[in-house]
Amino acid sequence: MADAPIEIEFDNVSITLGATPVLRGLSLRVRRGETKVLLGESGAGKSVALKLAIGLLRPDQGRVIVLGEPVSTMPEAALYRLRRRIGIVFQESALFDSLTVRDNVAYRLDEEHAMDLEAIDARVRACLAAVELEEVMDKFPAELSGGMQRRVAIARALATEPEIMLFDSPTGGLDPITATNIMEQIIRLRDVNHVTSLLVTHRLQDAAMLAAYRWDAEHNALRPADGMSAHTSFLVLHDQHAVFDGSAAELHASTQPYVQHFLQI
């Protein structure tokens, strides 16, 4: 994995929003099949970083390169094409209230006109099966629990078979069992589909689970990584920059004062 191509790169990125400097000189790299976990307290700039990665925000300085494309400078039409290769699960699930689960998941497939109805239906079923939610296909978002809505949002993001996934607090506000279930599905995407991800979380349990487990495709089950690489790294945002960027072992051994404080909370 160390020599896999870099699929997400921030090079010395700075952005000020309103009068607030949010990020100053942030650099990061995520290789194919790797998950980079963004940690940091509320307001640290985690969601802003994800928005920079898909060009919803543009940096004042520095470059953002995703799948080889210069996101920070490319025209809107080219960005639109690039975004089809990226799945996004926003902090709030952001489902369309007036559409059924099926139509929410099919939304980007319908939009692209490239697939016939049967193929769309098969893809929707497969994506909902991946989050164990096929049975709610004909319901509306308001009829689902928060955790189910989050899983539908993940299914929707998966529909276009993205090479990159951006997850913003996918377990936020969920009970521990549902949260663990969602993390399990994210680990499966990483290890079976080799999806490259940037994942924001407040929960250290999520981070620990990503680092400690891998998906065993043969037995279709989660297994302890047992020293094998879990293809996960961590970045801690504080004071507008990365105070830490490295592996789980390095994170726990870090003597950086903010990292130590963050891990003790």
Contacts with ligand ATP by CB under 6 A lie at 17-18, 20, 22, 40, 42-48, 91
Name the minimum Å distance from CB 199 to ligand ATP: 12
Q: Which residues bind Mg ion (CB under 5 A)?
A: 47, 91
Distances in Å between the Cα of 128 and the Cα atoms of 8, 103, 131, 133, 159 are 27, 12, 5, 5, 9
Which entry of Mg ion, ligand ATP, none binds 12, CB below 5 to 8 A by partner kind?
none
Q: Which is nearer to ligand ATP, 45 or 87 (CB)?
A: 45
Distances in Å between the Cα of 140 and the Cα atoms of 87, 127, 148, 234 are 21, 17, 11, 36
What 8-state DSSP symbol labels residue 157? H
Name the minimum Å distance from CB 146 to ligand ATP: 16
Q: Which is nearer to ligand ATP, 16 or 178 (CB)?
A: 16
Which entry of ligand ATP, Mg ion, none binds 1, CB below 5 to 8 A by partner kind?
none
Hunting for tokens 């105070």 — which residue is that? 243
Q: Which is nearer to ligand ATP, 42 or 220 (CB)?
A: 42
Name the minimum Å distance from CB 134 to Mg ion: 30
Tokens representing 46 are 């985690």
Query: Assign residue 264 a region: left if phi > 0, alpha if psi is -120 to 50, beta otherwise?
Result: alpha
Which entry of ligand ATP, Mg ion, none binds 59, CB below 5 to 8 A by partner kind?
none
CA atoms within 13 A on the CB side of 186: 39
Name the minimum Å distance from CB 169 to Mg ion: 6
